[in-house]
Structures are given as C-alpha cells and as structure tokens.
Amino acid sequence: MNLDEADIDRLLRMEEVIPAMEKALADFSSGRVVQPVRTMLSVAEHHGFLGLMPAYTGTALGTKLVALYPRNTDVPTHHATILLFKPETGEPLVTMDGRLITEVRTAAVSAVATERLARPDASVLAIIGSGVQAHSHLEALRLVREFREVRVWSPRRAAAFAEEHGVRAAASAEEAVRGADVVVTATTSTTPVLSGEWLSPGVHINAVGAARPDWRELDDEMLRRALVYVDSREAAMKESGDVIAAGLIFAEIGEVVSGTKPGRRSPEEITLFKSLGLAVEDVATAELVYHKALDSA
C-alpha cells in the first residue's frame, strides 16, 4: 500500500492524533518503546540533513526518513517518508508520505504538553513563526485551551498568516510575547528569537525549532527562568542546543502523562516544553493512518 499526502490529509484528524500522542509519549517514557536516538547525516554543501528514525511500539514497527533543509523557501523545509512493517514477520505493510504527519504530530505533542503545563485559564497565545508548524500549532492548541487573543510574528509572512487565520500580526517578537500565557517558537533560526525578559509569570512555552546541538531559539535568561520538560532526555541532551545550554531537565512529558512526574505546580511557574520529535510519534501516527486507510478501503 502507498499513501500520498492527499491520502494522509483525508485520513488524519488532529483531535485523534492528540490522544494517540499521549499514549505514545507515556509508552516511550515508561520504557515500552524500542527506539534509538535518530541518526542525522549532514549534507553540508546544500545546508541540509537526512535523518533516520526507527521505532517499535509493540504493535507497530516502522521508520521515518526525513530531509531537513532549513534554507528552503519555495518548497517545504521538511520532506519525509514513513514505512511500516509487519512486526511478526518484517513484511512491508505501507509506504506513506511523512511531511504532513510530521506537521500534525509535532503540534499534537505540543498540545499534550500545553494541556498539562499551561495554566487552565490561559487565554493569550503568541506564535513566533508563520510556516506550517505555526498553522498546525494554532489548530492543535485551540483544542486544549480557549484563546481570546492570538498574536503572530515572523520576519516575512506574519501579516499574510494573520489575515489567513483571523489573528493579529505583531510588530515584533517582543510585542507578540509580552503578556502572553502560551508561546510557541516554530522557526528555522539558529540564534535566539525569544528573550526571557519578555516573559510573564505563569507562561508556558512550546519550543519546536532549533533541532541541532549548535542551534538556539531561546536565550540564557529564558532558560534560567523556566522549568524544562522534553520529549526525550537522551535525545534532548544530544540534539538540542537550548537544552544543552540549560543543562538541566525536570521531566519528560511522557512522565507527566503517566503521572510519575508533576506538571504545572503553581500559577506563577514558567514552564518550557522543548520538542525535538520522536520516531514513536511518527510510527504511532502512521499506524493510526494505516488502520483508517484499511477501514475506508
């Protein structure tokens, strides 16, 4: 079976992916998932990377091949293919486009974190970035919190994004962030775009860019003020320049889902979820899509 992006778009629903990610993250942090840290191959002359991300969940066996080219402008920065195999025999089951799955599952994971780490009364959302992750995060976070105001800032497309989605374009990142209850950084920047000086007490941040050890989205003051949650301790300390700079991880979000570590502990606490993306998220989402494809055949 082969599923292209149009098939994925027809079958994938954010409201179904969020609970699937809750289970995947809890299973990962509980040790029920077999998954190495992703292998990243540098394509230095074209400023790109190729990643290999395998995982076995107990019910699904698969891998994602993902190309990351942050400098792309006319085509997406991410391209991906996901393959699922029959766990009992290793027979190939399905090949599917992984770009949209990556887009949706990343935002769904941030929604899982936001549900547990943002204040219940959070009502102002700030998004730094205006690409596909900004779009998917707006959709996902609206499913777990009711926002009376959404602000967006990016160097290029903020006005177009704001018009398309009926939100407000801010004149600067600082203007977007000051007074916000939830902040999303979804950029291709390799240097900090978010300053800790701008943050209000009680804010929650989802940081989904800067996925290399020498890249940063968050400044030192931001990291000093925040309690750091991650998807994977091992991966974050190897791959995330922000987490490496912070030097301390409080918990994996899967531990919060399963109840072995606490989420937000006070209204004033500043929480940060640093998302790198895990193979189990891709494989679990692909399994969901595969079964829906079989049911609709």
DSSP string, 155-172: SSSHHHHHHHHT-EE-SS
CATH 3.40.50.720 fits 119-274, yes or no: yes
Contacts of 208 by beta carbon, 8 Å cutoff, 6+ apart? 106, 110, 133, 137, 184, 185, 186, 275
CA end-to-end span of the chain, whole Å? 11
Q: Where do the CATH 3.30.1780.10 domains begin and end in the chain?
A: 2-102+279-296
The pLDDT score that the predictor gives to residue 42 is: 92
Give the residue among 99, 22, 32, 91 at the shortest CA–CA distance from 62.
91
The pLDDT score that the predictor gives to residue 74 is: 86
Cα–chain center distance at 11: 20
Low-confidence ranges of the chain (pLDDT < 50): none
Give φ, ψ of 276 to 5 degrees.
-110, -20
Edge-to-edge, what's the strand order for the sheet holding 204-207?
168-169, 149-153, 124-128, 182-185, 204-207, 271-274, 227-230, 251-252
Reduced to 3 states (helix: H, G, I; strand: E, B; else coil), residue 91 is: coil
Note the pLDDT tens digit of each residue in 156-190. Answer: 889 999 999 999 999 999 999 999 999 999 988 88
Q: What is the CATH number of domain 2-102+279-296?
A: 3.30.1780.10
The pLDDT score that the predictor gives to residue 76 is: 85
Cα–chain center distance at 136: 10
Q: Where do the CATH 3.40.50.720 domains begin and end in the chain?
A: 119-274
Tokens representing 61 are 């066996």
The pTM score is 0.93
Tokens representing 254 are 């899967």
Outline where DSSP puts E strands in the chain: 2-3, 39-43, 48-56, 61-68, 78-85, 92-97, 124-128, 149-153, 168-169, 182-185, 204-207, 227-230, 251-252, 271-274
Contacts of 5 by beta carbon, 8 Å cutoff, 6+ apart? 97, 99, 100
> d(Cα 144, Cα 152) in Å, to the nearest integer?
19
Tokens representing 80 are 């991906």
Helices 132-141 and 158-165: angle between axes, nearest 10 degrees: 40
> d(Cα 189, Cα 187) in Å, to the nearest integer?
5
Contact 172, 139 (CB under 8 A): no
The pLDDT score that the predictor gives to residue 297 is: 72
